[in-house]
Amino acid sequence: MRLPIIGANWKMHKTIREAESFAAEFPADADLYRKVEVVIFPTFTALAVVGNALRGTGIKMGAQNMHFETKGAFTGEISPNMLLDAGCSYVLLGHSERRHIFKETNEFINKKVKAALAHGLVPILCIGETLEERQNGRTEDVCKEQLLGSLTDIEARDITTMVVAYEPVWAIGTGVNATSQDAEETIAFIRRIIHEKYGQKAGESVRIQYGGSVKPTNAREYFSKENIDGALVGGASLEVDSLSEIIKSAGII
């Protein structure tokens, strides 16, 4: 049994005060957070206050990005040990906004995945095709290329601890979600690739989320699918009520 995981990706939203009051208001339900792992990804400036507010709640925290070096002349960047220091246990890597707006390559993301694992941060590796790639029938090729390219030289035992988020780019922030059947098929394909390359244990234990316009009204459908282990949620994670509804749907499956 894989523990479902819900990630709340706040992107570039919320001031320090807004982030802190969200964390303070969020329902304390330690039993639920044992059945569904919940990870909030605030902006860098809010990490410290959100980390403090979440202490003892069972809810975890992650960062939306990081650099692979531990320190040095990398203006504007943040290192794995700085994230640990702020209270993070997770880090989002290769989000489509990083790949497409900031032109991050698989090779660059691979260095970050290795650095995260070396520092004991759990990477959530995001992969997914654009609308054009989907229309050209390239969904599986693109997912495979991003997955294997971002995981070069990573050991099978590390794969078992990490999380993959399948996020079709055309479904992120658009309100147009992939059908649960489409998401299930692509996620089953991703799991098969992991099984073939890293062995049965890695294929069975790696958690794979769906992301792309998940809302309280459609969440349950995804979570009822065999291969979908939760969701990475953007827009609907900005409000306490909608995020907690989504978490509850993952807890009752």
Where do contacts with ligand PEP occur on this chain (CB under 6 A)? 9, 11, 167, 172-173, 211-214, 232-236
SS3 90: strand
Nearest-approach distance from CB 126 to ligand PEP, in angstroms: 7
- Both tokens of 252, joined, read 């009752």
- Residue closer to ligand PEP, measured from CB, 79 or 96: 96
Whichever of 106 and 237 has its CB closer to ligand PEP, that residue is 237
Q: Nearer Cβ to ligand PEP, position 92 or 202? A: 92
Q: List the one residue out of 145, 111, 112, 116 whose CA is nearest residue 128.
A: 145
Q: Which residue is nearest to ligand PEP (CB)?
A: 234
CB of 174 to ligand PEP, least distance (A): 7
Q: Phi and psi of 216, rounded to 5°?
A: -55, -30
Q: In the complex with ligand PEP, which residue's Cβ is closer, 37 or 203?
A: 37
CB of 73 to ligand PEP, least distance (A): 30
Work out how close the CB of 10 gets to ligand PEP at its nearest, in angstroms, rounded to a whole number.
Answer: 9
In terms of phi and psi (left: phi > 0; alpha: psi -120 to 50; beta: otherwise), the region of 230 is: left
Indicate which residues carry an active-site annotation.
95, 167
Handedness of CA 68, 125, 18, 4 (dihedral sign): negative
Measured between alpha carbons, how far is 227 from 50 in angstroms, rounded to an integer? 31
User: In the complex with ligand PEP, which residue's Cβ is closer, 163 or 202?
Assistant: 163
Give DSSP secondary structure letters for 108-171. HHHHHHHHHHHHTPEEEEEE---HHHHHTT-HHHHHHHHHHHHTTT--HHHHTT-EEEE--GGG
Residue 46 C-beta: closest distance to ligand PEP, Å: 16
